[in-house]
Amino acid sequence: MHPTGLTHLNNPEKLWGSAVRIYGASMEKLWGVMEPISLDKLVPLMHLESIHLGEFEIKSIHTPGHAVHHIAFSVNNIVFGGDVAGVCIGAGPVVPPCPPPDIHIEDWCNSIQLIRSINPQYLYLTHFGLVTSPVQEHLTLLENTLLEYADWVLQMMKTESEISKIIDSFQDMVEELWIEKKMDEQIIMRYSLANPSFMTVSGLVRYWTKVKGVEWN
């Protein structure tokens, strides 16, 4: 893991508390119970540091933007992109998961460019699995959507003082787009669970106010 993550995995109380503030009572239902991992089983990795597992060399790629401690992993011509490579369910669109507190748009775009420069033949997502579209196309769509979401939230902040109303408007906006794409209702529901609107809006509002210094509310 990223060196910053060592303490949190050894003692996950703070990490769990932060996640509960996002997911509330659904936290344990969604993710189960988070148990501490002993330090002798945790390996901090610096950027581009490699470890070997059998015949495989696994390279650490520090890719902040979704989180300051985010790492992707490169194995031969494969990249396991984690959350910085987006969420894609079935044949649905790729969308950026934007939970607070670490969203940083410029860092995320730089991380996308870093993965793009590696030019992997295959890209795997945490949510969910192998990217079936061309990898470079996937990364371009992800970056464009990230920038569109961030700008959309910024424009709403100029006219709306209540975050709950921005969240409702954002949900209406994305659902309208998904319906236009004739996405199956079950897939739409899964997107809403995997990447809920309240999480995306909260993360992007925090980015604009805490990172960029936009005065709001």
* Average pLDDT rounded to a whole number, residues 190-198: 86
Give residue-wise pLDDT tens across range 78-137: 999 999 999 999 888 899 999 988 999 999 999 999 999 999 999 999 989 999 999 999
Long-range contacts of 73-77 (CB under 8 A, 24+ apart): 74/118, 74/120, 77/120, 77/121, 77/122
Indicate the pairing of strand 122-125 with strand 78-80: parallel
Mean pLDDT, the chain, rounded, equals 92
DSSP H or E run through 17: helix 13-23
**Secondary structure letter of residue 104 according to DSSP:** -
Q: Find out whether the peptide bond into 93 is cis, omega within 30 degrees of 0.
A: no
Q: How far apart are CA 5 and CA 155, in angstroms?
A: 34
Contact 59, 107 (CB under 8 A): no
Helix axes 135-157, 163-180, angle to 10 degrees: 140
| Residue 61: its H or E element | strand 56-62
pLDDT of residue 108: 98
Going along the chain from its start, the domains and CATH numbers come out as 45-211 (3.60.15.10)
Stated as kind and residue range, the H or E segment containing 192 is: helix 185-194
> For residue 14, what pLDDT is reported?
85
Range scoring the smallest mean pLDDT among 19-23, 45-49, 162-166, 181-185:
19-23
